Amino acid sequence: MNIIETSLKNSRFEFFRHFFTIITSSSLFIAMSGCFKTYFSFSLYCTPQKYPLIIITFLVVYSVYGLNKITDIKEDQINNADRSYLILRNKKLFKYSTGITYFLAVIIGCFYGWKVLLIIIFPLMAGIVYSIQIHPRIPRLKDIFPVKSIIVALSWTVGNTFLPIVNGKHNFLIMVFVFYFFFTKSFINTVLFDLMDFKGDKKIGTKSIPVVVGPSRTVLLLLIFNSSLCLMILFSLSYGFFQPQTLPLIFCLIYCYCYIIYFYKAKNRLQMEIFVDGEWILILFISLLTI
């Protein structure tokens, strides 16, 4: 009986591991996370959610990250063998789906004007320059220290900051706080994933922040960046901003400390993708409870 129970538990674990490997490797999970980030951004601005713009976020994130994963197969064979195997087996599917989803994003964006189209184009252009070597003498952005992490963070931040206010006016200081919040969060998460890829990046010569400054100093840097959000939250609350979202912001701050420290020691990429990218599911849930 114990053997049967053990085998059932192992089969369930393997099913969930396989399921999460598929949705994280295919960019579906991070695209959903992007939706929740944009939804939370609407909440920070206290503006009504426009669901077509949130859907645009899903489509653009899926497309850009899908493109990056196709171009990063060589690195993933070292850093993430499961993802590399899945992408190679379904390369045509990923190639066509990234093109179709981006095309749909542009179609929806056309109904909201040229500003939305600019926001949509930015992460794609950044993703192309980031991932593809245009000329042998011109390095990819991802090979330049520390441009890689900054470009990825900006790609997230532009959409999260400006989509909720693209067709309206808003307090400039609120916009600055929102921009800094999402940029800092995206930068931390990007560098933390680079920390997970430390050995592979070092082997192939990618000049990521962990490779250049070392893992321990990288963690210290991330903790400092996260601590700067404490000051941002205090300043914003002193101006009367974000008060309905105080609890989600505090949770976000504490949760980030926890996963930086935890994943510095625990080298499990699948867990990191679930708990780091899945952070926005928890934040959205807390945000809805505080309304």
Least confidently predicted of 65-79, 166-180, 245-259: 65-79
Closest CA relative to residue 196, chosen from 147, 142, 277, 268 = 268
d(CA 190, CA 102): 22
Read off the pLDDT of residues 153-203 as tens digits, 9 standing for 90 and up: 998 899 999 999 987 777 889 999 999 999 999 999 999 988 888 877 777
91 or 96: whose pLDDT is higher? Answer: 96
Residue 138 bridge partners (DSSP): 135
pLDDT at 149: 86
d(CA 117, CA 107): 9
Geometric angle at alpha carbon 51, from 160 and 281, rounded to 5°: 60
Segment 266-276 mean pLDDT: 86
Residue 64 has pLDDT above 90, yes or no: no
What integer best gives the mean pLDDT of the chain? 84
Read off the pLDDT of residues 120-152 as tens digits, 9 standing for 90 and up: 999 888 777 766 666 666 666 667 778 878 888
d(CA 18, CA 115): 40
Q: Where are the domains of the chain?
A: 40-289
d(CA 184, CA 150): 10
pLDDT at 8: 38
pLDDT at 291: 64
pLDDT at 103: 94
pLDDT at 77: 58
Closest CA relative to residue 118, chosen from 152, 148, 162 = 162
pLDDT at 4: 42
pTM: 0.87
Closest CA relative to residue 41, chosen from 248, 201, 274 = 248
Segment 89-107 mean pLDDT: 87
Residue 207 has pLDDT above 70, yes or no: yes
Residue 85 has pLDDT above 80, yes or no: no
pLDDT at 139: 66
Residue 13 has pLDDT above 90, yes or no: no
CB 251 within 8 A of CB 213: no
Segment 49-57 mean pLDDT: 92
d(CA 183, CA 152): 9
Residue 65 has pLDDT above 80, yes or no: yes
199 or 114: whose pLDDT is higher? Answer: 114
Segment 85-98 mean pLDDT: 79
pLDDT at 163: 92
